[in-house]
Structure 1
Amino acid sequence: MINTKRPPRDTLIPGTIFLIIYTIWAILVSSGSQFIHNFDNIIINIICNSNTANIKFATIFTNLGNTNVIVIETIILFIILLVFKQYAYAFYTAGTMAAANGYNWIIKHAIERHRPFVHHLVYASGYSFPSGHSVGSATLFGILIVLTILLVKSKTFKSILIIFWTCFPLLIGYTRVYTHVHYPSDVLGGWIEGITFVLIGYSFLYHFYLEPKWKTIYQS
């Protein structure tokens, strides 16, 4: 039986809204806003402690968001999609990840925010805003959420996967603050940036692949 169900609608408008929010957030960070300073202090006081178990978890789990790990995971996902002949989804994945991480590099060097001036629990180099771990994980797992919505038929399994994919970038962001290598505003900025690229990337996928495919099936 041919699936004639219309795909999720275009996300250009929410993507644009997230882009505006991200731009405002980046301006506040780069200008040294007192609001950002207060926000960072409040979240740090809530999250950070000297619990041994938390330290061990954070210092280990944070490595799962390293750039090389995210790149390997992206390549594996890309290859799997190609093997199953999901070419549009494969290039949506690769293009969105490349755009998000490339843009992240540009913003980091444009703002040049230094990392927290405290002892880091893990090694970290480069500038602080936005958090590359947060951008990479939010983008990759945001893509996985989109693919899950599009490809998984079982509602129960779909819900479980979406919850799992959502938890991963949240935990990665938590570890970046806990290990003192990022401010909370870096992490939030990274999440917003990642979501922005996922939404805008899906908009291209929708207009150039999903909608034309649906119209062809529906009209046949």
Structure 2
Amino acid sequence: MDNDYNLPHLLEITRGEIFLKKKHNNLTIHDTLIPGFIFLILYVIWALLVINQTSFIHSFDKTIIDLVSNNNATNIAIATKLTVIGNTSTLTVATIVLFIGLLFAKKFAYAFFTAGLMICANGYNWITKHAVERHRPLVHHLVYADGYSFPSGHSVGSATFFGILIVLTILLVKSKFWQTILIIIWALFPLFIGYTRIFCHVHYPSDVVGGWLEGTTFVLLGFSVLYHLYLNKKYE
């Protein structure tokens, strides 16, 4: 029998093919184009409801504000400290650090995916704020906040940044256990940051929901671009 086709050699090839298949499955997920468009539609609908100041939005905001608001000193101290994580300056520094780290790791596509997505999401948010021109709640703010209210910049920035971390965790972390733990942690950050913006009276709840929808839309559509331009070709 030809040595090229002996049993040990075939087993070795088979093991290699299985390894490559598993690696491929670990590093690629389904295209997120359709979910991205679904979130885009939800965001547009939500924005139109806010722009038209519908009774649903007024009722939604009042209900959530009544649930969240309180004068507990501990809650105030935690919320005013935690909300800083979503500041533009904080997320900008975090993005730069992550970008440089990915470059050093020679993950160039992921680095530019991160930077490009943060620039696009925050740039679009600035345009939307000045197009909608919704004023902030006319109550005492527990932290400083300027500019327009919809969508919440903290919610957009945190949903985008931590959404990127979720994507990178799925792509780069091999352990399913640590994938799950990290994804849960990253997902909690935008939720808590959005909560602080309502608690500190600087945003309406509908601003926060709009920010989450916008940030999630950018992450899903951005990943779809990464999938088609890089991942799908790399592991096809």
- Shorter-chain TM range is over 0.9
Shift of 1:4: 3.1
Gaps of 5+ in 2: 1-18
In structure 2, the residue matched to 1:11 is 32
Deviation digits for residues 116-155 of structure 1, max 9, x if unmatched? 0000000000000000000000000000000001110111
Between Structure 1 and Structure 2, how many residues are aligned?
A: 215
CA–CA separation in structure 2 for the residues paired with 1:156 and 1:18 = 28
CA–CA separation in structure 1 for the residues paired with 2:41 and 2:126 = 19
In structure 1, the residue matched to 2:214 is 193
What does residue range 58-137 of structure 1 map to in structure 2 within 5 Å?
58-137=79-158
CA–CA separation in structure 2 for the residues paired with 1:100 and 1:15 = 14
CA–CA separation in structure 2 for the residues paired with 1:100 and 1:80 = 21
Partner secondary structure for residue 121 of structure 1: coil
Partner secondary structure for residue 4 of structure 1: helix
Q: TM-score, normalised by structure 2?
A: 0.90
Which stretch shifts more, 114-123 or 5-14? 5-14
Q: Does 1:214 align with 2:235?
A: yes
Partner secondary structure for residue 71 of structure 2: coil
Letter in 2 for 1:48: S
Identity %: 64
In structure 2, the residue matched to 1:26 is 47
Question: Displaced runs of 4+ in structure 1, greater than 4 A?
Answer: none
Greater CA radius of gyration, 1 or 2?
Answer: 2
CA–CA separation in structure 2 for the residues paired with 1:74 and 1:34 = 38
In structure 2, the residue matched to 1:218 is none
Partner secondary structure for residue 201 of structure 2: coil
CA–CA separation in structure 2 for the residues paired with 1:4 and 1:96 = 24
CA–CA separation in structure 2 for the residues paired with 1:153 and 1:174 = 32
Q: TM-score, normalised by structure 1?
A: 0.96
